[in-house]
Amino acid sequence: MEFVKVADTKDIVKGEMINVEVKGENILIANVKGNYYAIEGICSHKLGMLAEGVLNGKVVICPLHQSEFDVTSGKIVNIPFNQEIEGEVRNQKKYELKIENNEIFVKI
């Protein structure tokens, strides 16, 4: 595993997020109050692109079925439907991230 540059800090203003693809992995990079976080970018439920959803504080809301995930940990915050009927939701993978000289790197 190695750290790979994915963006510059100026690319993601506070309260926003972007989607990047690195080595075949789809990753969401979020800026929460000046701190950057990286989690799996595709929702585990119906494969929604999380960067197309809403970032509310440290919670990203999936644009397809409104499942909510904490971008600081990847953990589920809320599932607004019955998983037994509509399909399972799981925690999103969290990626190690570092910043050097205003460049954002993710460990892949």
pLDDT for position 83: 74
User: Residues in the chain with pLDDT < 50?
Assistant: none
pLDDT for position 80: 86
pLDDT for position 52: 97
CA distances from 41 to 26, 92, 100, 101, 104 (A): 5, 8, 22, 24, 16
Domains assigned to the chain: 3-107 (2.102.10.10)
pLDDT for position 100: 97
Q: What is the pTM of this model?
A: 0.93
Contacts of 76 by beta carbon, 8 Å cutoff, 6+ apart: 67, 68, 69, 70, 89, 90, 91
* Cβ(39)–Cβ(74) below 8 Å: yes
pLDDT digits (tens, 9 = 90+) for 62-89: 999 999 999 999 999 998 888 777 878 8
